[in-house]
Amino acid sequence: MKFLSKRVRGGAAATLTVLLAATTLAAMAPSQALDPQRVGPRDSTRAGFPAYYTDDSGVALQLCIDGTAKCAGMTLRGDGAGGPGVGVSPDGEGFYYMATTSLSAPGLDLDIEFAAEAAWASRGVPATFDRLRIRGHSDTAGDIAVDTPYGIFTVTAEDPAAQRNVNFTEDVGCVGNPCRFRDMTNVPGVHITSWITANNPPAGYIGNGVTAQPANVAGAPATISAGGASTDRWVIIGKKARANRVSLPAALNFGNAARLKTKTVTMRNLGTNKTVGLNLKSVKLKGSKNFRKAKGTTCKGTTLLAVGDACKVVIRFRPVRASKATLIITDNRAVHRVKLRGR
């Protein structure tokens, strides 16, 4: 599937018009148009962003935040431009996928970006959207047809005296508040349907973004052209989602409790295998007897968690002395541990 052919004008006003039109279109699109495989459940450890997005070929990518070069040096911040607990780049945005390249022809220089972005509709409200961005300079004002892997876009170069007279951004998805994470996938012919993939990417990634140097990529087609210039060399960034991932805190601290205190640990299945759930085998506490499972616990040895489902362990702490324990949850694929502390 390709994007529909589009004609757009550069500049801030045109960008805003396209942005608002995309938002309206997304809101009107029928929800049944979405393949339910495309969007993962919300991940509480990533401030409520979806655990992954999946392209039409079935490749699922998680939020790229591990701070490696392949994720563009993104880091975790407790707060700030990217919001609480979310990987951000210098411009304050994270992403699930990004492909960038440049085109250069006589009198024309363009930088092109395709991305599945993770940003903030407002402080504390996560938003996601597909992005197409074409920026650069043309020595001649007028229309420029850019033939991309997702369709032909006709952008307009403004006054050649401007340093950047080609300036187009189109965002499709939940770019406003409230955000519906499915919005960027349920508009037929508009979302990024298939990730462009690097040749021989590092294990666990689809990208070649170990350096900033573009490389030939796999996929059919991956060629982009404009003004007589063309390339199939891209910098690709994308981290594959783990098939068996769960959402669990690494630790739970009861602090300096003056009296009996209760806290809850929630476990959610964030895996990408929609047909096979997680079968819990055992839920145990190991360590100080001052920690006990309490009434209301739903994670048990017989619990089955489908993708997106959650259960909870209610833990009661009796503050007698400084205490340590470990909550150990074993399922059919892995053993998960949550450190417990209190005093």
**Is the domain of 233 the same as that of 253?**
no
Handedness of CA 207, 212, 216, 222 (dihedral sign): positive
Query: Using an 8 Å Cβ cutoff, are 184 and 175 in contact?
Result: no
In a domain, 81, yes or no: yes
**Is the domain of 147 the same as that of 219?**
yes
Could you tell me which of 118, 105, 101, 129 has the C-alpha nearest to residue 196? 101
**Is the domain of 74 the same as that of 188?**
yes
Highest-pLDDT range among 15-29, 46-60, 202-216, 283-297: 283-297
Strands 151-157 and 6-7: parallel
**Is the domain of 120 the same as that of 210?**
yes
Q: Which secondary structure element, helix H or strand E, spans residue 76, and what is its range?
A: strand 75-77
Average pLDDT on 199-220 reads: 68
**Is the domain of 117 the same as that of 82?**
yes
| CA distance linking residue 157 with residue 211, whole number of Å | 31
Write the DSSP assignment of 269-332 as a string of letters.
Answer: E--S-TTS-EEEEEEEEEE-TTEEE-TT----TT-EE-TT-EEEEEEEE--SS-EEEEEEEEES
pLDDT given for residue 330 in this prediction: 95
- What is the total count of domains within the chain? 2
| Per-residue pLDDT at 32 exceeds 50 | no
In a domain, 91, yes or no: yes
**Is the domain of 126 the same as that of 184?**
yes
Using DSSP, state whether 186 is helix, strand or coil. coil
**Is the domain of 183 the same as that of 73?**
yes
Using DSSP, state whether 33 is helix, strand or coil. helix
| Per-residue pLDDT at 111 exceeds 90 | yes
pLDDT given for residue 329 in this prediction: 96
| Per-residue pLDDT at 26 exceeds 80 | no
pLDDT given for residue 54 in this prediction: 87
pLDDT given for residue 291 in this prediction: 96
How many percent of the chain have pLDDT more than 90?
Answer: 34
| 163 half-sphere exposure, CB direction, 13 A CA radius | 0
Using DSSP, state whether 214 is helix, strand or coil. coil
| Per-residue pLDDT at 7 exceeds 60 | no
| CA distance linking residue 107 with residue 105, whole number of Å | 6
| Per-residue pLDDT at 241 exceeds 90 | no
| Per-residue pLDDT at 17 exceeds 50 | no
pLDDT given for residue 328 in this prediction: 97
Return the CATH number at 311.
2.60.40.10
Last residue in a domain, options 213, 240, 267: 240
The pTM assigned to this predicted structure is 0.72
Highest-pLDDT range among 96-100, 104-108, 212-216, 232-236: 104-108
251: containing domain = 246-342
pLDDT band at 252 (very low <50, low <70, confident <90, very high): very high
**Is the domain of 105 the same as that of 147?**
yes
Q: What would the pLDDT profile of 309-332 be if each residue is shown by its tens digit?
A: 999 999 999 998 899 999 999 999
**Is the domain of 103 the same as that of 179?**
yes
Could you tell me which of 339, 330, 337 has the C-alpha nearest to residue 291? 339
**Is the domain of 205 the same as that of 252?**
no
In a domain, 1, yes or no: no
In a domain, 109, yes or no: yes
In a domain, 305, yes or no: yes
**Is the domain of 280 the same as that of 216?**
no
| Per-residue pLDDT at 255 exceeds 80 | yes
pLDDT band at 143 (very low <50, low <70, confident <90, very high): very high
Last residue in a domain, options 198, 214, 240: 240
**Is the domain of 215 the same as that of 335?**
no
How many percent of the chain have pLDDT more than 70?
Answer: 74
Last residue in a domain, options 185, 205, 240: 240
